[in-house]
A = this chain, B = another copy of it.
Amino acid sequence: MSSTDNPSRKKLVADWQALIRTFIRPESDSSKRALLKYMEQILFGLHEFLKEHVGITEMVGLKELSDRFKNSVIAETPEKKLEDVIKDLIEDIAPHAVNVASPYFVGHMTSAIPFFMVHLKTIVAALNQNVVKLETSKVVSIIEKQVMAKIHRLIYCRNDRFYEEHIQNSRTALGAFAEDGTLANITALWVARNNLFPAKEGFSGVEKEGIQAAYNSYGVDRCVILVSRLGHYSLQKAAGVLGIGNRNVIAVKTDNENRMSLDSLAGIIKDIRNNEPKTKILAIIGIAGATETGSIDPLYSLGRICSENRIHFHVDAAWGGPTLMSHQYGRLLRGIETADSVTIDGHKQFYMPMSAGMIFFKDPTALDAVVYHANYVNRPGSVDLGIKSISGSREANSLILDAALKIMGSQGYALLVEHGIETARAFAEEIRSRPDFELVTEPVLNILTYRIFPFPMKQEFHQSDPLRQKEIRTRLNKINRTVQRLQREAGKSFVSRTTLKVDDSPDDEIIVLRCVIMNPMTTLAILKEILNEQEDICQKTFARLGNGLQP
């Protein structure tokens, strides 16, 4: 390159040259060797590496940690050489990250991922395609359409002719990627909202005119969304964002297996029909793998109710969707094929790196309700995928999912799903067999909740009057909250905690411990260790107080 091309280059030739190099290659061979050593560790030795360096979730030092990161000034000149920044990241930052890959980390829906996922993500970053339009993605847009069809088929099982027609059809869309399950749920309800208030004589549709005009035009006062009380909080967020109002997400009661009560649902629908002529039901949402309990709503019945009442049926299968790949457990999601839209998260049980939400629609023209064009991007009739998605620029997650499906096969994923469910069931048995614990929610999938409930307190509880029972509950909540925190701080294991309602006492909430078993390295032996540790912590902490386990 000649140096006469550009004035700034002439002026700052030394720095400019160095800068150019950072785009292309390391500054020296020794720098390259240092980097390669680190990257090899990251690419191939990840799990051991993390295990070596990181406690599970040691909370000690959060304050000290945050005190180390209080520099609000961008340095004018480079602070560090590239390899030193990488070194810091690996030696100094990573040890204070959370070791979500540990088999002892069973508290959240984030876990170990196959090491090759990191390789795939690296390739995606290197290609740096922008899927918003064909001109910055080309083959990747085509692969995205293919992988969307594969997952659509997993859900909806339409025939060959259907997929032949739509798989590479630039006018239709079987689904879309979104940043995560929240944005996938927002997209589903955005489409449902727009299809509820389409253009008609004298009204050009809610997307164009807004909600006030839509409600006026259709004689509506409010819209509601019905979902069981175990619905993910993103549904409230969606209703808030979309202008529906989050208080209009109505929590339907659940039965004793944490599934939406069809009787309660029927009652609410009837009530609205009879008493609120100006209320519209925007959507009914079935959950396939509730965040807290892993439970699955009666999807088939919900589909029938929605179809009879012409209501949009959305299934939030962010967690449970990949269960469909297991011959043995896929049928737990029977009825999902009747859903108008389905959310599945790639970064959950597809084991993709953070983050890859996906939304699918039964009707390949459903996404037409949210089409946006612009002259400089996304021309009508093109393969530009950004025409029908809530985001604009986004990375090529489809390459990762497409490759992973080839490497794992549905059978590989099925093994993971089955391991999770069967380990959870065995763990439930183990909890039941221990006198000082109580299984609170049975695992349907690979999530269960339980709590520490020392045997003497159990005995007393069953003989007590309601007032005394309430006291015992309060005490139990304290014990469970404390043990969960102390175990997390000890840094060996991590289970999460949440708050559930009690069936027979709707005013009371109980604190439960929650396990999500998705890491194939998490064995029953490890789960037993975790229970043992909880017993130990409980004994040590509350026995000190002198018969502390008595309330």
A36: shortest Cβ distance to chain B, in Å? 7
Q: A135-B494, A168-B70, A222-B210 are in contact. Are A243 and B244 (CB under 8 A)?
A: yes
A419: shortest Cβ distance to chain B, in Å? 6
A residues 1-58 touching B (CB-CB < 8 Å): 1-2, 5-9, 12, 15-16, 19-20, 22-26, 32, 35-36, 38-40, 42-48, 50, 57
Q: Is the CB–CB distance between B79 and A354 below 8 Å?
A: no
Q: Is the CB–CB distance between A210 and B244 below 8 Å?
A: yes
Tell whether A179 is near chain B: CB-to-CB under 8 Å: yes
* List of B residues within 8 angstroms of A81 by Cβ: 407
Q: Is the CB–CB distance between B138 and A521 below 8 Å?
A: no
A427: shortest Cβ distance to chain B, in Å? 10
Contact among B62, B77, B488 with A411 in the assembled complex (CB-CB below 8 Å) = B77
Q: How many Å lie between the Cα of A39 and that of B234 in the bound state?
A: 37
Q: Is the CB–CB distance between B154 and A74 below 8 Å?
A: yes
Contact among B22, B70, B146 with A164 in the assembled complex (CB-CB below 8 Å) = B70
| Residue interface mask A131-148, B partner, CB < 8 A = 1 | 001111111101101100
Q: How many Å lie between the Cα of A136 and that of B348 in the bound state?
A: 13
* List of B residues within 8 angstroms of A392 by Cβ: 180-182, 234
- Minimal Cβ-Cβ distance residue in B for A42: B126
- Minimal Cβ-Cβ distance residue in B for A46: B126
* Partner-binding segment picked from A96-104, A267-275, A434-442, A450-458: A96-104
Q: How many Å lie between the Cα of A169 and that of B72 in the bound state?
A: 13
Q: A135-B98, A237-B372, A406-B80 are in contact. Are A150 and B74 (CB under 8 A)?
A: yes
| Residue interface mask A220-235, B partner, CB < 8 A = 1 | 0111000000001110
* List of B residues within 8 angstroms of A242 by Cβ: 241-243
- Minimal Cβ-Cβ distance residue in B for A324: B74
A residues 183-216 touching B (CB-CB < 8 Å): 183, 186, 190, 204, 206-213, 215
Q: List 29 A–B pairs whose Cβ atoms lie within 8 Å, in order of A's numbering.
A: A8-B419, A16-B419, A24-B47, A24-B115, A25-B44, A36-B40, A62-B138, A66-B145, A69-B143, A69-B145, A70-B146, A72-B149, A72-B163, A78-B412, A79-B409, A94-B127, A97-B127, A98-B135, A98-B137, A117-B125, A124-B354, A135-B494, A204-B247, A206-B245, A210-B211, A234-B372, A240-B370, A355-B393, A375-B499
Q: Is the CB–CB distance between A74 and B114 below 8 Å?
A: no
Q: Is the CB–CB distance between A139 and B394 below 8 Å?
A: no
Tell whether A250 is near chain B: CB-to-CB under 8 Å: no
| Residue interface mask A291-308, B partner, CB < 8 A = 1 | 110000000000000000
Q: Is the CB–CB distance between B138 and A97 below 8 Å?
A: yes
* List of B residues within 8 angstroms of A135 by Cβ: 57, 98, 107-108, 488, 494, 496
Considering residues A79, A243, A399, which has the most beta carbons from chain B within 10 angstroms of its beta carbon? A243
Considering residues A118, A139, A151, which has the most beta carbons from chain B within 10 angstroms of its beta carbon? A139
Contact among B139, B181, B376, B499 with A97 in the assembled complex (CB-CB below 8 Å) = B139
Q: Is the CB–CB distance between A97 and B179 below 8 Å?
A: no
* List of B residues within 8 angstroms of A210 by Cβ: 211, 222-223, 239, 243-245, 248
A203: shortest Cβ distance to chain B, in Å? 11
Tell whether A113 is near chain B: CB-to-CB under 8 Å: yes
